Structure 1
């Protein structure tokens, strides 16, 4: 494979490349209701560091799913929103979020059992 060239083996491979990691799906979900400034995004994502949020936003922007708009004001204002591609991706993530809502209690119980050294139910 040539240096820098990305090759996907299937659609899931491409999708996971774009949303891989803990924060990217959360960022996309936070932006589904509309445009947010950096500080608003950070408040919507408890636990994310400023450095990580900046990195993840840059990657999502380079993948074409997040739009970054800088307003030439003092102080400068930067807003983030979903592109058409990002909105489509967010719709694809909806069933995954519903699955998580449905099975959250079971997932938490399994993780607690694992930490306690018990076999999963």
Structure 2
């Protein structure tokens, strides 16, 4: 009986811990450093394999401003997926400091509100014109 009670307590604790991760988050919540320290952004197009980058601080600031309030809402279905439309990487100097896709951050799957895809598409095009 004691084992059953312990098992129930353990299951309840695990459920409580996983529900803590179910709240919407933003890039500001995910990024461990300061967004102000980002010196380069890379956008990889998952359809074509084309990568575009920018080190222009004004463009970086504008991109970060445009995405920082977008909410990443955890999907109920966290089963593994393949492929992505875009992959975004942040750099501080020569070091990659963060990587995400519009649907996956740190191994968890999300929907974005509002949709982040149009913002990334716009900047991917802008980066390629530099």
Per the shorter chain, which TM-score range?
A: under 0.3
- Of Structure 1 and Structure 2, the greater helix share is in 1
Scaled by the length of structure 2, what TM-score is found?
0.23
- Of Structure 1 and Structure 2, the greater strand share is in 2
Scaled by the length of structure 1, what TM-score is found?
0.24
Say which structure, 1 or 2, has more relative contact order (CA 8 Å, 6+ apart). 2
